[in-house]
Chain A
Amino acid sequence: MTAPSHRAFDTAVPLDVPEDLAGFETPHPSATIGGPRRVRLGLILSGVFVAFLIAASIAPSLFTHFDPLVGDFSEGLKPPGWAHLFGTDRLGRDVFARTVFGTRYSLLIGFGGVAVGLGAGIVLGIIAGQRNRILDEAVSRLFDMLSSFPGVLLAMLIVTFLGQGMLNIAIAVGIAGIPKFGRVVRAQTQLIRDADYVTQAAIYGLSRWQVFIRHVLPNVLVAIPIIATVYIGSTILIVSGLSFLGLGPQPPTPEWGVMLAESRDVLRVAWWPGVFPGLAITATVIAFSVIGNHLQQRFEGRLA
């Protein structure tokens, strides 16, 4: 019964409140008043940032003319300045260039992980969401089993078996994420399965299958991109952790976690090779979760 760390999709029962009454029946109008405007700013910033991230991961060379892998050995550990926006690391490589090129790997693994997890999660979740006690039990137990291994540890175990590298990390993180996604999808499926409009569809004379295809499935799927965005952040976090532990991509790959791990040794004399990738991770995760939460609220809005 330990539900996933997710607030939206298991609740949200539609209730009928004509829009013209909004604000009256709620004891704390402040909750609804002026809320939207505040969200906007953060949202816009996040949107712009994510746009940059995607651009950077597609065409990093647009943002910098430096080679992320080859540096000038006489230019090692130069502090940030005009020549090097984020300074250089101990091999004289441009930290900005590395951070920009790193976007690709972090996003790739992040999305990869979510894709793996969601892929399996959707199938299992929908299966579990059907009106079939045994199937539901079986799948839910599977989720219990997977989720009883701490994400990082499970990923570590999988990496031990599969070996290191980007793909394996993505798979590992994905598998570790299956219960999260699966439970969300299951909850969502059940919510819709029991929704009045599904009953209504039965009254039209639609067959079970038709109802599932026309009403249940689409309404489950609309939630997927949102779930993905909500979770991409946390996935990127785990990934950076793993590559920090040296289980991720191989150096000199400018993956952010790897960069952080490398920067540790020189941190005392040079803060920049570590601070910037660190900021990159945090900013990325924030951006995605802001967008994700917003989409989610919108989504619940359409339900309620």
Chain B
Amino acid sequence: MWSRIISRLLTSLVVAWASVTATFLALHALPGRIQDILAGDVEYPGLREAIAAEWGLDQSLPMQYFEFLSRILRGDFGTSYVLRQPVIEVVGSQLLPTVELALTAGVLAIVIAGLIALLTAGRGRLSRELASFVELVFASTPVFWLGILLLMAFSFNLRWFPVSGAEGWSSLVLPAITLALPTAGLLTQVLREAMEKTLDQPFVTTVRSRGVGEFIIRWRHVLRHALLPAVTLGGWLIGGLLGGAVITEKVFGRPGLGTVTLGAVLTHDVPVVLTVVLLAAFIHVAASTVLDILYVLIDPRLRAQ
């Protein structure tokens, strides 16, 4: 188990290093001077010199590379020349709302998926058909589209929830639901499929033969088995949530990484985009490490090997 986790952590280091290097190379591979690329929008005398100094562009390529690496290690991700602020501040100030949104949505999705799967797996054909159709629809609906519709319905017309902003839970409800539903849709499909596979396992018959109630069977035995494939989905799921958050924030005019990233992409604010992506990668790796541990906790058979 530990070897698994350690290797995961090593992997994450490799990943981080590789992605940083890749970006560095990409930057240099791009047509045009790095000064211009990094300056993006902004246009004023002295800017390019400033950048050249900050990125040590006067030095040899390898020197630049190590300079770049060590800066990242020092947590110095450079300056946004569009926002005229250290990137780390810009991003840092936006991290919380996004994490808040993604987490809420994630939990929501898991709860929804778990419940529906528990209730419908291997049950009456009609309810199952209906459920799986609804899931399919949600899993196949663009997040932003869903968001717009919810916004129309519950904010503009019914006025149950605020339209935008990030003050208090009420402003979190709609975005969270928007982000959660498509995820839940897919998660439910996986969970149910896994549960039905499990329900066909002989041991379920054994458990039934002990006179255990149907719900207990699902709750105590089947669900746990179904979690395994769900957990394997986890990493992908987190990615989806982070990515979805970008779009959701745009739709609901919520502050957060998404808004910053999009702005950065559009104004060609490379340092910011870079930092955000690296951050996302870091979050992802951290999360999947946790998932690995979870995996082993769920399935004792993995502890041996």
Contact = CB atoms under 8 A, between A and B. Distances in A.
Nearest to A261: B144
Interface string B162-198: 0000000000000000000000001000100100100
Interface centre among B190, B204, B233 (most CB of A within 10 A): B233
A278 B144 CA distance: 10
A269 B144 CA distance: 19
13 contacts: A2-B234, A28-B199, A31-B196, A141-B15, A147-B284, A151-B239, A152-B243, A159-B265, A160-B270, A241-B247, A244-B142, A247-B265, A260-B142
Which range contains the number of B residues in contact with the other chain? 35 or more
Contact of B273 (A157, A237, A241, A285): A157
A284 to B, nearest CB: 8
Interface in B222-252: 229, 232-236, 238-240, 242-244, 246-247, 250
Given A150-B280, A244-B144, A285-B140, A160 B186 contact: no
A267 B156 CA distance: 11
B132 to A, nearest CB: 10
A154 B202 CA distance: 44
B240 A151 contact: yes
Contacts of A156: 246, 261-262, 265, 273
Interface of B: 4, 8, 11-12, 14-15, 18-19, 26, 30, 122, 125, 129, 136-137, 139-145, 148-149, 152, 156, 186, 190, 193, 196, 199-200, 202, 204-205, 229, 232-236, 238-240, 242-244, 246-247, 250, 261-262, 264-266, 268, 270, 273-274, 276-277, 280-281, 284-285, 288, 291-292, 295
Interface in A229-243: 233, 237, 240-241
A149 interface: yes
Given A4-B236, A149-B239, A282-B142, 12 more contacts: A27-B202, A31-B196, A142-B18, A144-B15, A147-B239, A151-B240, A160-B265, A245-B250, A245-B265, A246-B266, A264-B148, A267-B148
A26 B284 contact: no
A290 B15 CA distance: 35
B190 to A, nearest CB: 7
A28 B122 contact: yes
B20 to A, nearest CB: 11
A77 B242 CA distance: 36
Contact of A281 (B26, B142, B288): B142
Contacts of B284: 147-150
A160 B277 CA distance: 12
Contacts of A241: 142-144, 243, 247
Given A145-B14, A241-B144, A153 B280 contact: yes
Nearest to B142: A240
A128 to B, nearest CB: 15
A133 interface: no
Contacts of A282: 137, 140-142, 145
A43 B60 CA distance: 61
A3 B202 CA distance: 26
B30 to A, nearest CB: 6
A237 B292 CA distance: 28
A245 B144 CA distance: 9
B206 to A, nearest CB: 10
Interface string A248-270: 00000000010010001001100
Nearest to A239: B142
Contact of B136 (A28, A157, A286): A286
Contacts of B196: 31
Given A144-B15, A241-B142, A260-B144, A2 B235 contact: yes
Contact of B277 (A2, A154, A285, A289): A154
A132 interface: no
* Top 4 closest pairs, chain A to chain B, by CB: A152-B243, A2-B235, A285-B140, A150-B243
A1 B288 CA distance: 9
A74 interface: no
B236 A149 contact: no
A200 B57 CA distance: 60
A9 to B, nearest CB: 13
Contacts of A153: 242-243, 246, 261, 276-277, 280
